[in-house]
Amino acid sequence: MSFIKTRLNENTCDYVNKVFAKVKERNQDQREFQLAVKSLFDAITPLFKNNSCYEKHSILERIVEPDRIISFKVPWVDDQGKIHVNRGYRVQFNQAIGPYKGGIRFHPSVNLSIMKSLAFQQTIKNAITGQAIGGAKGGADFDPKGKSTMEIMRFCQSYMTELAKYIGPDVDVPAGDIGVGAREIGYMFGMYKRLTGTYEPGVITGKGIEYGGSLGRTEATGYGAIYFVEEMLREKNLSLAGKSIIVSGSGNVAVHTMEKAVEKGAKIIACSDSSGYIYNEEGLDVASIKQLKLVENKRISDYLTIDSETKYCDQCTDIWSIPCDIALPCATQYEIDEQAAKQLVQNGVKVVAEGANMPSSLEATQIFIDNHVLFGPAQAVNAGGVAVSSLEMAQNSAKVNWSFAKVDAELKQIMQNIYDRCITEANNYGQTNNLVVGANIAGFKRIANAMIAQGVL
């Protein structure tokens, strides 16, 4: 499946296909990584028409290989004194434009393929922001659900015991991701201090405000997604006011996406968690959802105790069957498949913007593009989090603290700049308004040009 509508030079396609064949051969058991590379290669093919520069410098061959992969055991002791061992990772993919930057994920699904896929995507996303940050990702196949606070602390300290050897403010700056919030960041930062004997707040982002964190970081990914959607709509002389929205997920990103959308005059009619989804055509109370999910840590079904008029379905994937103006997948990767995409199109969706990492399959993405749905890819839409992480690094470096208003204004400008880069590159390469093509070309060019300038490394 290809995103490219134009017929390209055969030799140019041969180069892209040759490199991708090698990727598949070398990574036969890494489906997620293969899909991430395929997504990029499909989108950037227009670059290679009448342009042999990147082929001459073997950029594709070089950009698909991570600089290093760190895999390590993470032993920890539970509250009953039993020893457990998980597997930890850090994939430092590319630092052509700055120190490695990317989150840490604690989830039982974590494996090398997922880590490489996320680190590869992170590299492109970070480049699109315009900030001086490279791409990385880390994590462990540890499930924090059901664990006590002390068990989580011991696990985080064990994970950092190994990770500390490979990170630093000018080397690699981790952050949070699924299963890793402010609490986990605090435990890891504390262990880093103990191991190194230094106080370097710039070594990790997503910290508490009391010890070097940035105001606005918690809200950044969700707010940034809505700022990007605003730009997409503005291009068509539309606004969020009065639009009906469904949002998958009800974690930090989803809740703050909903919060900002309501502030802009939109109506949230459905949201979900892993157990199911809630739906109310008249609109959901986002403040109540925020209290339930982010403060009380309850299931989304508990919302019915607040509003008996709201409906609940125990199949979370069925949320995409609800008619809406805007769909915002903010839960996890590949949650919108071909069938779900067709259902959304049939029900008249006007905008789909990815708040999560690669939540739409390649087939689903193609369906949106073929049917002229305004589609915002994850590389651009959810870049707000890492953008504000970069602003946190800047504040740490300068030993200053910015106001929420300043951070939010910087975030909004960054998201507008990202949109402008995406739409400009898409149009420059004959893919008018195709933000998938534009985002990937914008990110790839910045990295590739830096790699060429720095020689063969």
Catalytically active residues are 137
Q: How far apart are CA 407 and CA 26, in angstroms?
A: 42
CB 194 within 8 A of CB 378: no
Q: How far apart are CA 55 and CA 433, in angstroms?
A: 26
Q: How far apart are CA 269 and CA 280, in angstroms?
A: 5
Q: How far apart are CA 171 and CA 200, in angstroms?
A: 12
In order, the DSSP letters of 16-41 are HHHHHHHHHHHTTT-HHHHHHHHHHH
Q: 168 CB contacts (<8 Å, ≥6 apart)?
A: 99, 200, 203
- Residue 409's φ and ψ, nearest 5 degrees, are -65, -40
Report the SS3 class of residue 411: helix
Q: Which residues in 95-134 belong to E strands, given as ranges? A: 100-106
In order, the DSSP letters of 190-225 are HHHHHHHS---GGGSSS--GGGT--TTHHHHHHHHH
Q: How far apart are CA 147 and CA 151, in angstroms?
A: 6
Q: How far apart are CA 315 and CA 335, in angstroms?
A: 12
